[in-house]
Amino acid sequence: MKHSMQKVQKGFTLIELMIVVAIIGILAAVALPAYQDYISKAKFSEVVIGTSAVKTAVELCVQDGQAIANCDSDTQGIPASYTTGVGHLKELSVTDGVITAKANTINGLSGQTYVLNPTVTDGKVTWTTDPGSTCLPKLCK
C-alpha cells in the first residue's frame, strides 16, 4: 500500500520575494527625495528664523517714528550686520529696512538668500518675501 504524500510548501517563492523587493524599491524611490527636501527645508529654516530679531528691531524703529529709510544695520537699535555667521546662517544685514539673510554653503545648502521687504502702512510694518530671494521651494511663501 502506497501512500502518496504531498510536499507542503515552506517559505516564500522567488516571485513573492521579487514582488516585495520591487515594492520596497518603489517606496524608497518616492520617499528618499521627499525626505531630502524635508531635511534641506529644516536647515534653511535656521536662516528664516535668524531674521526674527531683526524684523522686530526694524518694526520698533518704525514705531519710534523713524522713516523706513533710516532703519539700517547698527542704527536705531537694529543689530549690526555680520558676514561670519554660525551654523546655517552666514550673513545678515538691513538696508533701508530691507532684511537680507544668506545661508552658508554647507550640509546641502548652497548660499541661498532670503530677502524681506517691509511695507509701512499707518505705522504698521508688513513683510513680503522679495521675488529675488533664492530660497528653497515652498519655504519663502
Spans of all domains in the chain? 14-129
Burial 16-33 (b: 16+ CB within 10 A, else e): eeeeeeeeeeeeeeeeee
User: Which residue stretches of the chain have pLDDT < 50?
Assistant: none
Torsions phi, psi of 42, nearest 5? -65, -40
pTM of the predicted model as reported, rounded to 2 decimal places: 0.76
What's the confidence (pLDDT) of residue 141?
Answer: 60
CATH number for 14-129: choose from 3.30.1490.20, 3.40.50.150, 3.30.70.270, 3.30.700.10: 3.30.700.10
Q: pLDDT digit string (tens) for 65-92? A: 889 999 999 998 898 988 887 788 899 9
Pairing of strands 124-129, 113-121: antiparallel
